Amino acid sequence: MKGMSFLGRILTISFFSLFTLGLSIGSQANEWAGLYHGKVSGQPSQLTLNRAGNDIIGVLDTEGYRYKLEGNLQKGKLVGFCRDTRTGETGQLSATVAKDLIILRVILPGHHRPARLIFQRADDTSSVFTLMASR
pLDDT for 16-54, tens place per residue? 333 333 333 333 445 899 999 999 889 999 999 999 999
Q: What pTM was estimated for this model as a whole? A: 0.69
pLDDT score of 58 more than 50? yes
For residue 1, the model assigns a pLDDT of: 53
**Angle (nearest 5°) at CA 56 between 114 and 17:** 110
Q: In the predicted model, what is the mean pLDDT of residues 96-101?
A: 90
Distance (Å, whole) CA 80 – CA 109:
14
Tell me how far apart the alpha carbons of residues 84 and 78 are, in angstroms, rounded to a whole number: 18
Which residue in 5, 31, 1 sits closest to 16, CA to CA? 1
Q: How confident is the model at residue 111 (pLDDT cuts 50, 70, 90)?
A: confident
Q: Could you give the CA distance from residue 120 to residue 36 in angstroms, rounded to a whole number?
A: 5
